[in-house]
Structure formats: structure tokens, C-alpha cells
Structure 1
Amino acid sequence: MSASLFPDLGSLYTVDRAGTRYALDDDRWRGADGSPLLVGPVPAPTPDTIDPAERSLWRYGAAIPVDPAFRTSLGEGCTPMVPLEWNGARVHAKLEWFNPTSSFKDRGVAVMVSHLRSRGARRVLEDSSGNGGSSVAAYAAAAGLDAKILVPAATSEAKVLMVKAFGAEIELVGGTRDEVSAEAIRQSAEIPYASHAWHPMFLEGTKTIAYEMWESLGFTAPDNVVVVAGGGSNVLGCDVAFTELLAAGLIEKRPRLFLGQPEHFAPIADTVNGLDPLEALAARTEARGADGLPARTPSMAEGSSIASPVRLPETVEAVHRSGGGAVAVSEEEIASATRDLVRRGLYAEPTSAVGAAALTRFQEAGVITPEQTTVLILTGTGLKSAERMAALY
């Protein structure tokens, strides 16, 4: 593949919410205003720039702003999209546990670690409820980098074991998922921050899931994409990719983006629906914390249990721009959807099943209909949530 098919890195930039631009080689993970960064417009891949010999997300290297000399790959991407009968309709299930560490996070981490490596990083820091940490640990090992991973003390043992096995230093942090993030930000003053929530290059990897849908569907866009949201990176990755493809005239319409969240951790869904997240939570629970505020009940969908997503306004805007929607689902709905997926041979973790529960709700409401082309993204495997899966049987 000719080097001319790769993006002109010198012309690209990142931008914060205030509109301030930074060079792509500026070693920052957030803007001067404290907001998260996005990479400025990157030309979309075209059918003739896809590298057919590359069986990984790097087949779309023409639209990934990383110097090819520093690519770190474990074969991430190119995950299967299989037919699935769901509530009487045929949908496409995108099985992201076929990624190297069994989670969609490998897409973003592969690109992010490759970028950090190109910037001379020798050590990286990540905070995660499990899947992100496993992925950063794996790709750091592949790239020859040291890694330190901060995880909530309640993270499932299987995910902690995976991080340790890859040789990363692990620190268990008490408190909420957001408190873990706060500790990571404090430590990022000393270690390059490879944050799947903050780093703009992470989204440049997650966007490849949408390229794959487009290619698998004969270079057309689906009508709907449904997914669980914690921090919203899959929603934003799809928004970035479909925006690129639409601008290039490679698709005729923007797919509608739909998301589900656990009802006690639904700030994106509530905001999409015009609700104040704290008031909505108060309406769902009578429990109160020592501060008098509504208390959140832990969800079996641990990977999406994020009370304060870094990119909340951007994710809400992406859903609105697409004409999609969002719902908060109960633990009973998550458990039911998990069991229903397993009965179909898909051993998805409860976090993944939040998207399936959301799909059911949108089907029942007549918003998603059988004649439409719908892709359900299943983000991770139940093998990494053994304790939570066991509780369902």
C-alpha cells in the first residue's frame, strides 16, 4: 500500500470544546479549557484505499492518523457480523469479543498506543473498570511499554487477572468509578495518560467498527446501530466514521444511533431525553447517601456504570444528530437480555446485553422495525464476567 494513501499527519489537529486547535503531535490528552479533545476531520477511506491484505482495523489505514512505522497490532478489528433473530426481526450482531482481549476496547487502544509510541512514550497509565485496563496492558506489552492500570476495587477477578498476566502494574482503588478516574488524572502528571475516556486517538480506533459495518453491508450504511453506552466511545466512534463517509459521498444517509444504559447509571440516556440525570435517578430510587443525594445501586453491567461520562455532551449531540434515541434499562431487563443472548449461542457479558435490552425497548415502541437494517454491537464476552454470569444461573 502506497504511503500516499495514509493521512497527511502534518495537516491534522485536535480541537477542544472551546474550538481551540492543537497540533496532532502536541502531547496533550485534554484541551487548555479542561475539555476532551477530538481529532479534526480526517478523509474517509474509499473502497480502493482499503488494504485487502490486512486483516485488522489497519486495513483502513488511509483514514487512521498514525505513522505506519509505529503501528502496534494484535489483529484487532474485522470482527464478525452475524444474523440474529430478535423479537421476530432479523438484525446483525457485531461480535466485538473476537478482538484480541475479547472487548471492543482493543480498537481504540491499538491506535492510541501506536500514537503514544510514535511520540516516544515508554510507560502509560490507564484507569478502567476492567476491559480497558486489560486492553492497555496487552497493547503496552506488545509495544514494549510499561503500563500501570488503576481499577475499582470491585472489578471482577477475571479482568484483574488478565491485567496482571500481561505484566502491568495494577492498583486497586476504593470508591466509585469516577473516583478511580480522578486518581488517574492526578497520577497523569507523571505518566503519559492512555485513557480510553479522554485520549482523542482512542476514538480514531473505535470509528473503525463503523467502517466495517459499511464494508460488510456492501459499502452501504445500516439504518440503525444499537449499543450499550458507558462513556459513549462506540457512539462517538460511529458518529465520527459515518460523518466522514457522508461528507465523502460514500453513504446516502446517516444511520440512527441508539444506546442503552443501566437505570442507575444513565446520564447520557437521561440527557438525550431532556431529563436532569440527578432528578431522574432520584425518581428511580428512594435510597440516599450520607450527603442526602440519591444513592446508586451497583449494576451487573459494570462496564457501563459511569455516573459522569467525560464526553457526555458530545455523545448526546451525536445521538440527536443521527435522529436516534436512548433508554435507561432495569437490572431485570439486563438479566433477561443476557439470558436471551446466551440461548442464541452468544455468551455476551451483562454490559453488552444492555444494548440488547435497549433494542427490545425500541422494537416494542415501533421505533426500530423489521424491514430496517439494524446492527447490534455486542461489546464484550461473558467469560470476563464469570461472577456476574454465574449469578444469572
Structure 2
Amino acid sequence: MVDLPEYACACGRSYEVSVGRWRCDCGGVLDLAAVPLAWSPRGDDHSLWRYADAIPVPGRRFSLGEGMTPLVEASLGGAGSPGGDDGVWFKVEYVSPTGSFKDRGAVVLAALADLIGAPRLVADSSGNAGTAMAAYAARAGVAAEIFVPSGVSEKKLAQIRGHGARVTVVEGPREETARAAVERVEATGAFYASHVYNPFFYEGTKTYALEVFEQLGGTAPDALVLPAGNGTLVIGAYLGFAGLRAAGLVDRVPRIVAVQAELCAPVAEAFTSGRADVEAWSAAGTAEAPGPGERTVAGRTVAEGIAIAAPARGARILEIVRETGGAVVTVSEKEIALSHAALAARGLWVEPTGAVAYAAVRGLRSCGSPLTEGTVVAPLCGSGLKASM
């Protein structure tokens, strides 16, 4: 058995990794005991497993080729956004095997499930994490059941089913989906492959930062602009650059700007209010009705991938953006639609959530915000072939 880092909770409790352990007895979320970043990229490997020495789970045999996604310049020689795109780079995550950055964490969780002998896994998702877990569970030979909220893209549902996973559709808000998944885990003893609760997922998403570091020639950008629902990419990217800083490879972690949709912005509201924790978002919290061109369904944002009313790690997202000198900002439905169209006009076809980070970059640069000064990297996190405007 490979030695794994222990789970640790802020309350002081720690636990060995096991199939049934997914949260602390106090109810808190679990992190991993800190381990120094081992920087020894494998030059002959062009997947995220080139950083295998920095990932505490051996899993290369389950690879579908995830990782090492392209980093492309946004600038078109002065054309484009009102504030200009000079110094802006897109990390094209939608070329990942299942069409989103969630493959980074899913491959690590599938490898972990196999390593600890889990015969089946359960996950809940608004779509992309579910498709990723279904694919990598199939690759690892582990049975999977994926819980999704009603209203998820039919293409994502078809993808999950196509990989052989059982799908359970749950009526009601996203939080009801998570509750139903937890009930199944507790009733069956399945491994909870949660991209929110299981900290090994972030060991995969931290490779986003390691790749950016290499692709920029061994330097850190000035800012990372990242979509934030549950914060899986915010937390992972921070861990990656914090690890590089601790290893003496960079002298700072980039400013992290987390982006939420105006119609579901619990973390942004807490940031603006100066709070250390996040209160659940409700429909009553949406102060403005959609304007012309702002297309929503029953007040729901088109950015379904970040429509999380009560993120379990909201406090951690706030800590990260404040520590790095960043912020939590919001974008409107109209800004998402315009940015989606701008990306498409450049040959980049993303799902609505995939346009959120660029919408924030455009808005911040147009008003001269220092948050997006210098070199900025933003992900195109999900494929438009999976969901559309």
C-alpha cells in the first residue's frame, strides 16, 4: 500500500484515508496534511502525470491524456475587448478528454478509489464533474453513480450514461443533489468521489498552476482570473503556486480573481461585505431583474457550472483571494453572452460557464482595474459541445 497523506480538519482532528471517510466527525471539510511540492517534471510525459512526483496518488495507468492543455494569447493585434487583450492568455481546458478541467481532479480520485479498494463510487455534479468522474471510473473499472440536478444539459447526461454510470436526477436546487448523494453514500458505504469534499481532487487541479508556470517560461503571471462555484480551480491553482513558492521557484502567488454570476453570487456578497464566511444565496438576493439580452430560465444563470448557492469551501475561497491581493467579482448574464460570442468569433467554442472568466477580464480591463494589470491567465473551462447559450 502506498503511503498517503492524512486527512486533516481545522478542528485539529486527523484521519487515515479510507473508503468511508469524506468529512470530519465535527462536520467540517477535510484537507490534506501539508507535503512539500516535489518539482521534477517528467519530460517524456505530456499529460498532467509529468508532475507525478507532486501528486500523492499513483495513477498514470488510468490516464486519458488529461493535462498540458494549450496556453494561447488572447490578443488579436488590438482587436477584441474594450480594455484590450494584451498580456491576456487563455488556458484552453475544454480540450481535456471529457471536455472540461474537471478531468484533472477526476483522474486522481479514480486512482485513489482503485488504490484503497473502493468497489463503487458516488458523485454529485452540475454536469462536468459528473461526466469526468463517470469517464475515469470506467477507465479504472469502478462502478459509478452520478447525481445531477434537473435542468442539466442533455448532452452532459448522455455523456455520463455513455460511460456506463448510473444517473440519478434530483429535483430542486443544486444543494438537494448533494444531499441525495450523501444519503446514498451513507446508506451503501460507497466511496464519495466529491470534487467539493475530497481534497485529493485539488491535487489534480493544482496541476493547472504547474502547467501555467512551465508554459510561461518558469514564471508566474500577475493574475489568475478563475470561475468560482465550489472553487475547485481557485483552490487547486492556489495550492500549485503556493507549492512553487515554498519550493523557491516563484517569489509570489499570482493575484487570484474569483468570478461569479450576478444571479448566484454568495462568495462575492461575502467578500464585498467583509465577512470571513459565506451565507447561502437565495433568489431574494438577486437585486436586479435580467436586462435586455440577459437570457436566464426562472432567474437561473446560464453559467450552470458555478451556480452554487452554498459552497462548502466558501471561506477558503475568501481566504485565498484576500491573501493574494485579489477579489471576488461578478458578471451579468449579458456580459457572459457577449463574451461567449467574442470567444466564438475567435474560434473558441465554450459552454456559457467557460465564458465567465473572460467576461470578468473584459469588464475589469475596460474600467482600468489594477486587478488585471500585467500578465493575466484565464481558463476556457468547458466545451461548447456540451452546453450552449
Give runs of aligned pairs for residues 13-32 of structure 1, distance below 5 A: 13-24=6-17, 27-32=20-25
Partner of 1:96: 93
Residue pairs, 1:128-277, within 5 angstroms: 128-189=125-186, 190=188, 191-274=190-273
* SS class of match (1:180): helix
Q: Deviations over 1:26-56 (max 9, x none)?
A: 751111211111112222232xx11111111
Q: Which residue of 2 aligns with 1:352?
A: 354
Determine the C-alpha separation between the residues in 1 that align with 2:96 and 2:231.
Answer: 19
CA-CA distance at 1:89 after TM superposition: 2.5
RMSD: 2.2
CA 1:89–1:67 in 2, change beyond 3 Å: closer, same or farther? closer
Kept after mapping to 1: 8 A contact 2:226/2:259: yes
User: Are residues 1:75 and 2:68 paired?
Assistant: no
Distance 2:366 2:202 in 1: 31
Alignment partners' CA distance in 1, 2:164 and 2:90? 33
Whether 1:299 aligns to 2:289 is no
**Separation in structure 1 between the aligned mates of residue 280 and residue 30 of structure 2, nearest angstrom:** 26
2:54 maps to 1:63? yes
Partner Cα distance (2:230, 2:301) in 1? 15
Q: 1:13 to 1:328 in 2, by over 3 A?
A: same
Give the letter for the 1:89 counterpart.
D
How far does residue 122 in structure 1 lie from its aligned partner after superposition? 1.5
1:51 partner amino acid:
R
Q: What is the CA-CA distance between 1:327 and the residue it aligns to?
A: 1.1
How big is each residue's C-alpha offset from its partner over 1:150-192, in whole Å with a ceiling of 9 and x where there is no partner? 1112111100000111111111111111111111111111121
Which runs of no fewer than 5 residues in structure 1 stay unpaired?
Answer: 1-7, 288-294
1:38-49 equivalence runs, <5 A: 38-46=31-39, 49=40
The SS at the match of 2:229 is: coil
The answer (yes or no) to whether the contact 2:264–2:286 under 8 Å persists in 1 is: no
Check conservation: 2:265, 2:281, Cα contact below 8 A.
Answer: no
Is residue 158–residue 384 contact of structure 1 (8 Å, CA) maintained in 2? yes
Residue 281 of structure 1: how far off its partner (Å): 6.4
TM-score, with length taken from structure 1: 0.89
Q: How far apart, CA to CA, are the structure 1 residues paired with 2:330 and 2:208? A: 24
Write the distance in 2 (CA, Å) between the matches of 1:185 and 1:350. Answer: 28
Structure 2: unaligned runs, 5 residues or longer? 76-80, 290-296
| Alignment partner of 1:84 is 2:74 | yes
Contact 2:209 2:241 (C-alpha < 8 Å) held by counterparts: yes
Task: Provide the C-alpha distance between the structure 2 equivalents of 1:156 and 1:219, rounded to a whole number of angstroms.
Answer: 38
Q: What SS does the aligned partner of 2:368 have?
A: coil
Partner Cα distance (2:225, 2:285) in 1:
26
CA offset at residue 350 of structure 1? 0.7
SS of corresponding position for 1:89: coil
Distance of 2:207 and 2:281 partners within structure 1: 36
Could you tell me which residue of structure 1 aligns to residue 367 of structure 2?
365
